[in-house]
Structure 1
């Protein structure tokens, strides 16, 4: 999936459940920008449409501006009437992957695999504190050069 410029097209997904972390968190809400490959991820106790809207506002809109499009699976948290109306109000187009073809949102699926590996590794070391360490997992992704541009997501976002 190609995006013409940074931070206008994001893929989102829910990962988990993981073993219960502090704060009853067991899911990870993940978003990735299709142009820069910038990752935002946040542990959640439960995933509702309200939590998804808060995540989008806090982690995408407040940092990068209002995106044109968000691609996600058909989960009820992404398709609820309330979130659809909220996205329409912000002029964010929602696009949903087909149930049998999650690879349409492939960039998110690849990122999820990396985050899952990192969380499993951290579970062995820190147990229930994995939720506090997710920033370290996705900050590490921000620093890795991407094959497409030969730069890490941060540099790609400022030098596109």
Structure 2
């Protein structure tokens, strides 16, 4: 799943990994609660998935979304920042849906009709449409078709999909190589921002097969993919940016809490009458200096020369 925006309107795209069946919903608010509400409606129609993959945005990394996936028994996997390949299925679906919405807006066509035909279009690798793989039948659309009422061969579709995946993997492996894993405490250069300079840091922990938590020299943790990290022999020193204990004075604060003031016999007691209370509570009057108001500077005015002989 992924979020995208067209003309200031946010949308949520959810695509099924097996059938490529796509759901698109408009979001009135880009919050975790709104995303959860949309997902609950979809899960009520199609069932609860075992695993969902999303980006590491605030809508999906919040504590509210984590509680939702835990309660519904869903394994939530997030992709590393600046690594869209980790959520490539949703990224490709976003491109298709974006082009579809833009074309319908240009031509003044119905977006729901376009989405219906998109779901009924057979894919290249299986020869079946996402609707046929999802529901085991064709759905009626605006385009005339012959309803043969044949059972969709799911086993054959699975075999064709696997062959297509192996073909894509073979082409990708020609220009790719396996990177050696990194251990905790290794010094690395990691990509700070996409397309910008790299920073020095140390690996804190490995959270998945290709995802790591790396700390910068300032002590800030970042989640990065292995492809965005390069090991180095430079000895990286992590600076502790937290305030020192001497400045916080935790020990002195604890001592002041333990010490209780004791009453001595030489303590002078004040009589609790109204005169003493008023005298004790009267505020000290301070002399108030008069502050001259600040005015704007005025320019010097002169009489015109032709009025010099004028008798007043």
TM over 0.5: yes
The offset of 1:105, in angstroms, is 1.6
Match of 1:107 among 53, 74, 89: 89
Residue of structure 2 equivalent to 1:122: 104
Bigger helix share: 1
Identify the match of residue 84 of structure 1 among 66, 73, 76. Answer: 66
Describe the SS at the equivalent of 2:14.
strand
Q: Say yes or no: does 1:56 pair with 2:39.
A: yes
Which residue in 2 is equivalent to 1:140?
Answer: 117
Report the alpha carbon displacement of residue 134 of structure 1 after superposing the two structures with TM: 4.0
**SS where residue 145 of structure 1 aligns?**
coil
Structure 1 residue aligned with 2:18: 35
Aligned counterparts of 2:37 and 2:112: Cα–Cα separation in 1: 18
Distance in 2 (alpha carbons) for counterparts of 1:62 and 1:34: 18
Deviation track 1:89-120 (CA, whole Å, cap 9, x = no partner) reads 11001100111211222121111111111111
TM-score, length of structure 1 as denominator length: 0.78
Question: What is the aligned partner in structure 1 of residue 54 from structure 2?
Answer: 72
Q: How many residues in Structure 1 have an aligned counterpart in Structure 2?
A: 137
Distance, in Å, in 2 between the alignment partners of 1:43 and 1:90 is 23
Greater C-alpha Rg: 2
Q: TM-score, normalised by structure 2?
A: 0.42
Whole-angstrom CA distance in 1 between matches of 2:114 and 2:87? 20
1:14-33 aligned within 5 A: 14-16=3-5, 18-20=6-8, 26-33=9-16
1:138 and 1:104, CA in 2 relative to 1: closer, same or farther beyond 3 A? farther
Structure 2: runs of 5+ lacking an equivalent:
137-151, 155-312
Structure 1 unmatched runs, 5+: 1-11, 21-25
- Matched-pair contact (CA < 8 Å) for 1:43–1:134: no
